[in-house]
Structure 1
């Protein structure tokens, strides 16, 4: 074994001290020498007691993927991966955000005045499906542009009433 490169790092985070050694090496005793990466970690608590130790011996070709998987696994296991995700490029800016009373009133006004679902979705920066789902909540009929939902029979005061006043 011959070491090509070695990096040693000591990091203090919170009450712990971490010592990380990353060594790149080639196994010269093999028929086909392949570059390897050896990662060694030791960590001590405030009193010097060991809180972490271990090592990985990896083929260079998989080192980056293993680092990503270990990072993701640790974040997931500790609950630290609860950071907001970046919004995908094609997703409307307001998608998934809560509605307020002013927005509901504006949605109702735009629907009753005859705007299309696509126009309203563009105005509110939401998806057409989100607009169609919200329309009944403000009393509008998503199947009939410009119309309110009929008053359900259980809420009618006049037996012949079918539309709100």
Structure 2
């Protein structure tokens, strides 16, 4: 089974229509699920004739480096001289990167041990908002430090209620 997230963009510039699709995929059937990124580009001229097409399939860990290389290569080939977009100096290094099971387990144990959101964010090199958003996915209550989320009423058993069985 694969989990896929896809983003599509269409841009028109100088009479050419560019269609870019970026898909992230994790094959959860594998022993070690490795996130992948597939980038597909198609471009058509004013009459719809194809002027460019291609795709890249790479490990998600390489996406930032490949994006910089492609941007640098295109800029030098076209001579436009514009500087490529870079991460802002204040942006955490791991922001937006996928989580894995080991990271989730460590996030859970740090939260239950009483670490603050700021401490955890610094450790994982992520934003505090990213940590708060991830906590419920590992069963932790982001509103109550050191606590798990309660079991929803629809999934409670007699043991959860504290009643003898």
Give the TM-score normalised by structure 1: 0.47
TM-score normalised by length of structure 2:
0.47
User: Is the radius of gyration larger for structure 1 or structure 2?
Assistant: 1
